[in-house]
């Protein structure tokens, strides 16, 4: 059985910091299926709550064809899929933490927490669904901007990394895009806009002026990235509804020997 190894952790963190600001890895097939099923369970529970007459339509459908049914049934997508409805509840969270994927993260980083930006008193693991051709993606930003604007509380002597896992994607067409090495520059400009009850950062740079790179992530691949890395969703140009899972790891700073990830 593998356990935490300080040197493995240190070299992982150094790859992120001194490399392009991220590292890509993958979960095994079984974990991918488990996490897809957890999302489907919550997805169906939401449909049962907001639109019970349509539940049976979605029950036997793959999540990735959600957009076809949603359009046919004229679902109020934006209203239904607010963030609160896309955060795992504690039961799903506990199943999520039972995966090998989660144990592998514990082996790499040792003890860590997942952030609770939504103040739910439990760790926030949430998912997104992005329809092809619709503006459902997260805009380009660095996560640090949200924290600087007061979204979420940081425990003392810890640093953050974000994890984004592809559940249903078409590589390069509808996943995540990043600006490699952008975490090394500290003067990206943004301003705050009050939306959905919080101040959200909006980037001041023209997107065309950034070296945005569409990560060719397959379902089951994930990226762990630096808090200052510029990133955002790829506006869905594929054929399927993209599903992904995200969360923020909060890691004690004592793992930071030879790195400077504060």
**Which residues here bind ligand AKG, judged by CB under 6 A?**
128, 130, 137-138, 143, 162, 164, 176, 232-233, 244, 246
Burial 152-190 (b: 16+ CB within 10 A, else e): beeeeebbbbbbbbbbbbbebbbbbbbbbebbeeeebeb
Cβ nearer to ligand AKG, comparing 34 with 248: 248
Least distance (Å) between residue 247 CB and ligand AKG: 9
Cβ nearer to ligand AKG, comparing 73 with 202: 202
Cβ nearer to ligand AKG, comparing 110 with 117: 117
Least distance (Å) between residue 178 CB and ligand AKG: 10
Q: Per DSSP, what are the bridge partners of residue 141? A: 231
Chain residue whose CB lies nearest ligand AKG:
233
Closest CA to 203 of 146, 139, 147: 139
Least distance (Å) between residue 143 CB and ligand AKG: 6
Least distance (Å) between residue 57 CB and ligand AKG: 26
Cβ nearer to ligand AKG, comparing 158 with 165: 165
Least distance (Å) between residue 225 CB and ligand AKG: 8
Do 166 and 217 form a contact (C-beta atoms < 8 A)?
yes
Cβ nearer to ligand AKG, comparing 162 with 183: 162
State which H helix or E strand residue 60 sits in.
none
Instruction: Give 85: exposed, middle or buried? Use CB within 10 Å, 0-12, 13-18, 19+.
Output: middle
Centre a 10 Å sphere on the Cβ of residue 235 and count the other Cβ atoms it contains: 16
């Amino acid at each position: 059985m593998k356990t935490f190894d300080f040197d493995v952790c240190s070299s992982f963190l150094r790859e992120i910091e001194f490399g392009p600001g991220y590292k890509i890895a993958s979960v095994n097939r079984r974990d991918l299926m488990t996490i897809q099923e957890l999302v489907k369970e919550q997805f169906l529970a939401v449909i049962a709550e907001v639109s019970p007459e349509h539940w049976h339509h979605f029950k036997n459908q793959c999540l990735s064809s959600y957009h076809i049914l949603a359009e046919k049934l004229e679902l109020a997508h934006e209203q239904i899929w607010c963030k609160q409805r896309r955060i795992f509840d504690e039961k799903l969270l506990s199943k999520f933490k039972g995966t090998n994927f989660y144990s592998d993260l514990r082996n790499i980083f040792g003890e860590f927490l997942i952030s609770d930006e939504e103040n739910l008193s439990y760790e926030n693991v949430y998912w997104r669904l992005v329809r092809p051709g619709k503006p459902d993606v997260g805009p380009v930003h660095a996560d640090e901007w949200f924290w600087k604007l007061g979204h979420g509380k940081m425990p003392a002597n810890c640093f953050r990394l974000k994890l984004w896992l592809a559940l249903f994607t078409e590589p390069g067409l509808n996943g995540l895009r990043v600006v490699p090495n952008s975490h090394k520059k500290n003067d990206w400009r943004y301003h705050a806009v009050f939306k959905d009850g919080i101040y959200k950062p909006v980037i001041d740079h023209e997107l065309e002026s950034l070296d945005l790179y569409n990560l060719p992530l397959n379902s089951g691949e994930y990226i762990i990235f630096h808090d200052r890395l510029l990133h955002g969703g790829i506006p869905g140009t594929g054929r399927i509804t993209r599903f992904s899972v995200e969360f923020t790891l909060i890691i004690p700073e004592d793992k930071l020997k030879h790195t400077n990830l504060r």
